[in-house]
Chains A and B, each alone.
Chain A
Amino acid sequence: MEQREILRTEGLWKRYGSLTAVADMNLRVHSNEVFSFLGPNGSGKSTTVGMMLGLVRPTKGRALIFGDDMATRPWPVLKRIGAVIESPAFYPYLSGYDNLRAVAIALGDIPDARIDQMIELVGLRERARDPYKNYSLGMKQRLGIASTLLRNPDLVILDEPTNGLDPAGTREVRELVPRLAREGHSVFLCSHLLHEVQAVSDRVAIVKQGRLVAEGTVDELLGRGQYLRLRADDNEALARALGGIDWVRGVDRLDGYLRASAPVARAAELNRVLAMQGVYVAELSPWETELESVFLDLTGEESPA
């Protein structure tokens, strides 16, 4: 499927007095992709999303969605976006169904059948007529997702969509996100569940203190295909041999293994070269990194949020 740019932020800044919440944020999101936006608490994720939706006025820069500047002309675009920011917020005295109905009336052109369909999709049929104030956190999240999808949006923004969900609900959301992309929606996902993000994302951006510190495909961020993991009876001899090969760009020692910066595609060739030098490896495999490790390295956080 052809991908085109649907969201672009250009040098987006937000300052609150002396505090810089977002600094020079440049993001690109393409159609039909799952784009994950990660960062610790207070790193400016929600402020960035707020500026993207025209809810927060940028100090400098602009956010363009479907080519329209969200600070000056948000409405035509907002009709094509479904978003739940930080946590779902609905009218506590209305039922789940009536809350969706209120959103549907405001948006216009959404039949009751679509509301029923969304209620069914998120598994709230049995409790749809109960007041929202009696919902559990997980049910509120489900209603938030239903509200997001009500307008059949081109761009779906989900901020921590699995908060409060039980394992089954979390799995449903994990399955829902790539399905949305397959069905032609683009997904902008903020989540602290990094293994979930890793599993469903096409591209990832990581922010720290309002600044973008990394952006790329999951493979690029994880360095997939770029590192080999080796072990030999004599790791020192192995390191010396690796150092003598000109296309091995570097060698690190980690947890009893050597990490060689070399293309995974040349693993067999590397093994042959080492054997010719009389160094026989006991283990040779692609180096697997978790997104969580990359995140922690880049943000210096104890745990992501």
Chain B
Amino acid sequence: MTRLLHVEFFKLRKRMMTWVVGILLIALVILLYTVLWSISGRVSHFGEHNQFSAEDLRRALFLQGSVPFALEIAGSFGTILAIILAAGAVGSEYAWGTVRLMATASSGRVRLLLAKLAVIFALTAFGVLLAVLVAVAYSAIITYANGGSDYSFVTASFVRGEFAAFGRTLFVMAPYISLGFAAAVIGRSTLAGAAAGIGTAFIEPLVTGLMRAGGSPWKDIPNYLLNANVDVISAQNALPAALPRFGASRADLIGQNVNSLEGATLVLILYIVGFVALALFAYRRRDITAGA
């Protein structure tokens, strides 16, 4: 298995797409920080409900809020990029015909696919960490430049909370990555994986919104889908109120009939396991021919 992890890492590390995806995520963090800082004196609300003062937004961009904000970006745009990475890692093997090369050089199809998925998750985690580090660095500059160098907030519980937020973010990305991965394996193409993963990430919130508005029997169905459960978990991240949030906040979820934290976790785990099992089942049984 170590050999397969090594070779998958070797291939993805050498591939331009991996670097492009990483650079895009970092660029997005820098761009959002720059834009928010530049408008922080002029904007006092994002949407109807998120009202704040100019000082609120400035302080939100200081070090204390940098990790959750970077995770918010990674959990939304980063998920899209990770889906593309996962779908591309599988789909390209079919497009190039290298699926056969690796199938005859590796110690088993299931191991090969698991190694690929493990490396994709590892690179995703590394990308999210990189986004956090860039956000912290950028935020540190803003904080210093504006006399906010007070580190009393860095307590053991704060650090624990940030690590938990990091773990939660990776966890909510995992079902979408697994979906993109499985769809790429089953569809034998990058496009199939990217379309399934990104399509679900974009369209599901719209559909679940309609279901909630539709009342019984529709309103409970979203609790068994991805987005509502992702919101339950992501809302635990302590993002400063003034910063734009791409999913639901804790306040948004109050009064809604959503799953408990444990229930949401269980549903997402079932999805992750289901998607991965589907990919393994399809790949294990399938003939690997010239047309892939």
Footprint of B on A, CB under 8 Å?
46-47, 50, 53, 55-57, 75, 78, 81, 83, 85-87, 89-94, 98, 101-103, 105-108, 147
By size class, the interface of chain B is 20 to 34
B108 within 8 A of A: yes
The interface residues of chain B, by DSSP majority, are classed as helix
When C-beta atoms are compared, the residue in chain A nearest to B99 turns out to be A89
Residues of chain B within 8 A (CB-CB) of A108 are: 3
Return chain B residues, CB-CB under 8 Å to A106.
Answer: 3-4, 7, 102, 105-106
Given A78-B104, A93-B16, A106-B106, 8 new contacts (CB under 8 A): A53-B104, A87-B97, A89-B98, A89-B100, A94-B11, A106-B4, A107-B3, A107-B105
Q: Establish whether residues B10 and A55, one from each chain, have CB atoms under 8 Å apart when the complex forms.
A: no
Contact A56 B288 (CB under 8 A): yes
Kindly identify, within residues 277 to 292 of chain B, every residue whose CB is under 8 Å from any CB belonging to chain A: 285, 287-290
Closest Cβ–Cβ distance, residue B237 to chain A (whole Å): 36
Within 8 A of A (CB), among B1-50: 3-4, 6-7, 10-11, 14-16
- Give A239 to B100 CA distance when docked, in angstroms: 57
Residues on A with beta carbons closer than 8 Å to the beta carbon of B287: 50, 55-57
A-B contact pairs, 27 of them (CB 8 A): A47-B289, A53-B104, A55-B288, A56-B287, A56-B289, A57-B287, A81-B104, A83-B104, A85-B100, A89-B97, A89-B98, A89-B100, A90-B96, A91-B98, A93-B14, A93-B15, A93-B16, A102-B7, A103-B105, A105-B6, A105-B7, A106-B3, A106-B105, A106-B106, A107-B105, A108-B3, A147-B101
Q: Mark B243-264, 1 if CB is under 8 A from A, else 0.
A: 0000000000000000000000
Q: CA separation between A103 and B7, bound complex, in Å?
A: 8
Chain A residues within an 8 Å CB radius of B100: 55, 85, 89
Instruction: Name the contact of B101 in the complex, choosing from A47, A90, A98 (C-beta under 8 A).
Output: A90
Q: Which residue of B lies closest to A98 (CB)?
A: B14
A55 proximity list for chain B (CB < 8 A) = 100, 103-104, 287-289
Cβ of B53 under 8 Å from chain A: no
Question: Which single residue of chain A is at the shortest CB-CB distance from B97?
Answer: A89
Q: What is the minimal beta-carbon distance from A88 to any residue of chain B, in angstroms?
A: 8
- In the assembled complex, the Cα of A57 lies from the Cα of B287 at a distance in Å of 6
Tell me, rounded to whole Å, the shortest Cβ–Cβ distance linking B93 to chain A.
9
* Alpha-carbon separation in the docked complex, A258 to B287 (Å): 51
Max chain A C-beta neighbours (<10 A), residue from B15, B102, B287: B287
Interface centre among A78, A83, A86, A102 (most CB of B within 10 A): A102
Which of chain B's residues have a CB closer than 8 A to the CB of A53?
Answer: 104
* Chain B residues with CB below 8 A from A46, complex form: 289-290
Give A134 Cβ to nearest chain B Cβ, in Å: 15
- B residues less than 8 Å from A91 (CB atoms): 11, 14, 96, 98
Of all A-B residue pairs in the complex, the 7 with the closest CB atoms, nearest first, are A89-B97, A106-B105, A105-B7, A55-B288, A56-B287, A106-B7, A108-B3
Q: Are B96 and A92 neighbours in the complex by a CB distance under 8 Å? A: yes
For B156-181 the 0/1 string (1 means CB < 8 A from A) is 00000000000000000000000000
Q: For A93, what are the chain B residues with a Cβ–Cβ distance below 8 Å? A: 14-16
- Verify if B107 is at the interface (C-beta below 8 Å from A): yes
B4 lies within 8 A of A89 (CB): no
Interface string of B81-119 (1 = CB under 8 A from A): 000000000000000111011111111100000000000
Q: What's the minimum C-beta distance from A58 to chain B, rounded to whole angstroms?
A: 10
Q: Which residues of A contact B107 (CB under 8 A)?
A: 75
Q: List, in ascending order, chain A residues with CB within 8 A of B105's CB.
A: 78, 103, 106-107
A107: chain B residues at CB < 8 Å are 3, 105
Interface centre among A55, A56, A107 (most CB of B within 10 A): A55
**Quick check: A50 and B16 within 8 Å, CB to CB?**
no
